A and B are shown apart, each in its own frame.
Chain A
Amino acid sequence: MPSSTTSSDAGPDVPIRRRELGRFAIFLALLATMALATWIHPVLGPMRPWVPGEPIPLLHLLVPDRETVEEDAWGEIRTVHEAPPAPSVSLEAPAPVSRLPVRPPAVPTPLDVPPGALDHWFEALSHAEAGEPGRVVRTCHWGDSTIAADGITSRVRSRLQARFGDGGPGFLALKVDPRWQSRPGVARWVKGDWSALEITFGGAEERRYGLAGVVSTATGEGTATLGGIEVDGIRQPLHRFDVFYQRQPGGGTLSLSPKGAPGARISTASDRVRDAFRELRSEAGSSFLFLKAVGDGPVTVYGVALETAGPGVTWETFGVAGASVGSMLARQASWHLRAQIQRRSPDLIVYQTGGNELEYPGLKVDGGAAFRTPYLQVLSNLEAGVPEASCLVIGPLDQARRERGKVVSKPNLEIMIRVQQEAAREAGCAFWDARHAMGGEGAFARWLEHEPRVAWTDLIHLTSAGLDLVGDSLADALLDAYDTWKQEQVAPDPLP
């Protein structure tokens, strides 16, 4: 406690005050010297307390705010820095089309569709829309953590299924890492001795990971129950089950039982490792498919495609956290993936990565030319299974980093998106700029400030609400492109 003395300037404590103030002044002088010393060498740059361009300390408080103090959603007071204004159009993105709905803070962003790039899928959609019996239009969507928990894809699926009919959940892997991968709403209950290997970590026999990039193996007894979503409290009836599995030396027995329909018992034993498929049908419709590895040997399953009687569409999520061009090329055997895709026979192939490759050296030289080759190779591998399928490339979402207290977009995103867009054109794929849909440069900072929260503070991922916004924007763009295509189909040929 301080002394209770009431000394005046001439009192006995003055020497103590002078001594204390002297020490304080020396401390301040040394601190100021060290702050100035951070300008000696650029390596000390991050330690600089202030750099030109930033508000001048104290003085900036005298002028009208570029930052405001406000309450956030749960009442917390925070300082809100002025985020960069949202550009109306990014350099590479197509101009917004007014008929696309505006969903702030998202920006309407149409697809970039080279002639004919999506015709196969549109044609299939038109059949489903016309109610062609049994027509299930399939979309396989590969990606990274952005879609691993069914972010974006769930909104696109529900929007398309609302218009074209529900084709079922599509392909589901069995055992997935619940931290990253999920398909909310569908039944996927896995019990027993199942283990899983993902393309991001490797280790699978002969680099076989199946469509979803994750392969499940039961080394003992294990069961799995798969089913579609619930509608009005009732699990949707499924009519077709296509099991993607592996035969292997010493392989055990796999029992397949659609609820209320004849099942099958398969021996997965073989003289060598090979992929196999088994289709089951349920005429009356089954709410669940029960799989059981009886425990007489290892049973390896890539997943099961589940479909309704149609007509309808599927939008199948093959997102793996950490997935990248590297994991697709180095970890996944292309011949295996080609055969898996061939069997699934999608009408539309969607590829959406880029967020995990921003630090690739190839992206940083020659305008990303060295990255373009492997990227094209991935697109080629995906298209090889079903060459007639349409193809859509989706660019990465905006990501950010903190620079001197400000949230700024990562610098390599522009290059990444340009390379992807060029590669898409070369491969004959349509392109959708997801970053533009967020608002382009500086979007993450704006999304971070938005209420309700649409972006995470890790500056990489979006919240469920944010992913829904992007999903709706993508669905808007897809449906708009489809409607345009339909109008072109009925329009009379121009006069010669």
Chain B
Amino acid sequence: MLFVSLDYLLFLPLAVLAYWLSPRRWRLGVMGTASLAFYASWKLAYLPVVLGVILVAWAGALWVARLAQEGRPRTVPRAVVAVGLVVPLLVFKYWNWLSSDAEAFVRSLGIPFDLPQTTLPLPIGISFFTFQALAYVFDAGRDGKAEANPWRLGTFVSFFPQLVAGPIVRRDELIPTLRALPDLCRGQVGAGLWRIARGLVKKLLIADVVRVGMVDPMFDDPGRFTGLELLVGLYAFTLQIYYDFSGYTDMAIGSARLFGIELPENFRRPYNVTNITAYWRRWHRTLSLWVRHYIYFPLGGARVRFQARVYLNLLVTFLVLGVWHGASWNFVIYGLVHGSAMCVHRWFRKRHGRDPEDPSPGGWWGWTWRFVLTFQFVVLARILFRAPDLGTAWAFAEGLLHPSAVFPRFAPLAWAALAVGYAIHFTPIRWQSEVEDWFRSAGPVRWALVFAVVATACALLGTGEQLAFIYYQF
């Protein structure tokens, strides 16, 4: 059930009304049932996977929390639970990649070697709910607090607005809310609907139009495009992935608000930055925070004796972040490339003693060249993100080196979506805040009119297809 499907646009209000019209003691049950039904709608066979992860996380967290309360060592138990949680992820997502590479390596030594390959479909959002459950167990092992109610924990892991593509929510961000089940606040419905409308526009009128008109043909068949077209295609993909993912996040946050629940933000204009550290503080923030808390800090973070170790910690952290996205060497290199850039930036930053969010020195010119450098780096690294394999990534990168003076051949609508998308990204934030404030206070008649306008625009200008959100694959 895609967020942009009619199914979801009917399912959501039904779930919201069932939730609020139920007696208070039933609401958690309604929310959990709706979440599991939502997940089962993708494929019933996926349901045992998420249920298994919930069960392992619930029992495992109670175990390590008790050990923590008793002050007993829990490194091994925590590792055992973590392995239990990660096994489905390894089997479904990484097994074929790891086993085929292992086979190739052993065979290259002249030894016949065969490993079985799995044909199991990848459960939607498995990386998201696995990481959320892992973080929960780690937190329980740290402070000895675990949720005793399995249904509440199940609802925490499977809460449908954020189940398949985040935001990745940490224990203290959601479980207290699921205990309290707060009532609706003034303006929360308007705020939720605003985020849903914004998400629909981002996804259907910008991301999908740019994808169908520019990005897909480019990566389907890079050899048939000029270098300039490939470059425009790359900028288009950079825009598409942002609008696709942030559009999804908007709809997730908006849907949760209709239940009176606030989810953390995932984006803060990530391309409008002048260094790579600031980029990662604004792009997929909940994942960045996750790897910071559960990979970088446990490795020692920056509190180690030798600076070289800090850089190693950064590289390892970004390697995990890269591989989290997908089982391929593309993502290994993607992580390492970004990790290296973080190391370089950290080195410069420490030399000058500046915070990543400080205004760039050197005035307008200083801001401009830093912005251009950072943005180009992010754009070029996207080749690794989008190409299906290293061969295609290389072919694409090579194609960029074939300049052409001819104007790229894309449909006017795709050009318009690209221009509008980038323009919106770089407009002052207060403009959007003013529009949001107007919408929130507008009332149901204007809300309905705005949705009607959005629906009409999508019908007339959109691709007409229900294209999945990119981050569902992770």
Contacts and interface: CB of A to CB of B under 8 A. Distances in A.
B124 A77 contact: yes
Given A30-B445, A58-B10, A70 B121 contact: yes
A47 B460 CA distance: 8
Contacts of B17: 21, 25
Given A31-B451, A58-B7, A456-B220, A178 B188 contact: no
Contacts of B468: 69, 76-79
A88 interface: no
A69 B447 contact: no
Given A1-B262, A27-B448, A69-B42, A77 B216 contact: no
B188 A2 contact: yes
A145 to B, nearest CB: 10
B444 A30 contact: yes
B185 A2 contact: yes
Interface string B422-462: 00000000000000000000011101100110011001100
Interface centre among B43, B188, B409 (most CB of A within 10 A): B188
Interface in A356-377: none
Contacts of A74: 219, 386-388
B1 interface: yes
A116 interface: no
Contacts of B466: 79, 405
A5 interface: yes
B107 interface: no
A28 B13 contact: yes
B226 interface: yes
B216 A457 contact: yes
A389 interface: no
A20 interface: yes
A24 interface: yes
A404 B7 contact: no
A271 interface: no
Contacts of B188: 2, 20
Interface string B311-353: 0000000000000001110000000000000000000000000
Interface stretch (B74-82, B176-184, B282-290): B176-184
B221 A463 contact: yes
A81 to B, nearest CB: 9
Interface string B223-259: 1101001000000000000000000000000000010
Contacts of B23: 9
Contacts of A233: none
B404 interface: yes
B406 interface: yes
A211 B455 CA distance: 49
A20 B134 CA distance: 36
B175 interface: no
Interface string B2-13: 100011001101
B460 A179 contact: no
Contacts of B193: 27
A31 B451 CA distance: 8
Interface in B120-174: 121-122, 124
B52 interface: no
Contacts of B184: 2, 13, 16-17, 20-21
A47 B462 CA distance: 12
11 contacts: A7-B182, A17-B20, A26-B444, A27-B451, A28-B13, A68-B43, A77-B472, A79-B466, A149-B224, A179-B406, A463-B221
Interface of B: 1-2, 6-7, 10-11, 13, 16-17, 20, 23-24, 41-43, 121-122, 124, 177, 180-186, 188-190, 193, 211-213, 216-217, 219-221, 223-224, 226, 229, 258, 260-262, 326-328, 386-388, 404, 406, 409, 411, 443-445, 447-448, 451-452, 455-456, 459-460, 463-468, 470, 472-473
Given A5-B183, A24-B258, 12 more contacts: A3-B185, A21-B17, A26-B445, A27-B193, A34-B452, A70-B121, A74-B388, A79-B468, A404-B464, A405-B465, A456-B217, A457-B212
